Amino acid sequence: MSRAVLVTRHPADCVEFQQLLTPAGITVRPYPVLRIEELDDNDGWRAVLSLLAQPDVKPWLVMSSPRAPQRLVRLARHHGAKHLLDCSIAVVGDTTAEAAAEVGLGVDHVGPGSGTGLAEQLIERLEPACPVVLACGKERRHELPKALAEAGHPVHPVVVYSMRATPPRELPPLGPNLEAVILTSPRAARLYLDAVGGKPLPLQHWALGPTTRDAARGLGIECAIPSKPTMYSLAEELCQS
């Protein structure tokens, strides 16, 4: 019998995870409870342009999601900040690196599949007080910018997209042979519960880390978490089960 896991992400965000699970015969079934919309952050772009105008300032450009690169490139050109794209670039995970490469961005550092992991590596690599431009979503986790700021690196967020709830009627069918549900954020956990009628499916549930696990528990969903807060670590545990 085929095995399938439901993941509360868009299909484009599940490609790398599917590659990790294919050897074990597990199919990823995307369940995108959130959908992306481009967002133009005028205040954020003004701050970025001011930063780039400072002599001898060489910021790093950081992205933690594959949703960001395409929209960043388009908006940077629109706002006359094309030279931002020539900065050193760091990203979270191979999927984000591939999305950056697809729009012609050269990535200088690929971190592990978590914002915290990338922050730890960048803190070792960046010059003291090196500023960071974070191309991000409106709804985002704060571990990455918080860790960088606490290490003395000014962080300048520029919002390039927003995630909106997908109406339940527009979600794909759950399909057969599901053996687990993977909740990828606290917000996704809540929207998943709404979409399935207020009661979690009678399956094993996983969260990527303690923040999502605790939020899910508050909704009545008990979740396991992998040994590390990455899709790679989760894939290892699913393949071994």
Per-residue pLDDT reduced to its tens digit, 82-107: 999 999 999 998 878 989 999 999 99
SS3 string, 39-107, reads CCCHHHHHHHHHHHCCCCCCCEEEECCCCHHHHHHHHHHHCCCHHHHHCEEEEEHHHHHHHHHHCCCCC
Report pLDDT digits (tens) over 152-183.
999 999 999 998 999 999 999 999 999 999 99
User: What residues make up the domain containing 148?
Assistant: 37-164
157 with 46, same domain?
Answer: yes
- Nearest C-alpha neighbor of 159 from the set 133, 188, 184: 133
pLDDT greater than 60 at residue 76: yes
105 with 178, same domain?
Answer: no
50 with 156, same domain?
Answer: yes
148 in Cβ contact with 132 (< 8 Å): yes
Report pLDDT digits (tens) over 140-156.
878 899 999 999 999 99
Q: What pTM does this model have?
A: 0.74
Percent of the chain with pLDDT over 70: 99
**Average pLDDT, rounded, for the chain:** 92
The tally of domains found in the chain comes to 2
pLDDT value of residue 1: 54
* Torsion on CA atoms 28, 116, 210, 8, rounded to nearest 10: -30
146 with 51, same domain?
Answer: yes
11 with 47, same domain?
Answer: no
Q: How many CB atoms lie within 10 A of CB 34?
A: 21
74 with 146, same domain?
Answer: yes
202 with 107, same domain?
Answer: no
50 with 10, same domain?
Answer: no
186 with 82, same domain?
Answer: no
| 3-class DSSP assignment, residue 176 | coil
| 3-class DSSP assignment, residue 29 | strand
pLDDT greater than 70 at residue 17: yes
Domain boundary among 164, 195, 222: 164
Rounded Cα–Cα distance for residues 80 and 183 (Å): 38
Task: Compute the average pLDDT of residues 47-63.
Answer: 94
pLDDT value of residue 209: 83
Query: 138: Cβ–Cβ under 8 A, 6 or more apart, which residues?
Result: 39, 159, 161, 162, 163
Domain boundary among 146, 164, 182: 164
225 with 209, same domain?
Answer: yes
Domain boundary among 103, 134, 164: 164
Tokens of 117: 């992991």
Chain centroid to CA 45: 21
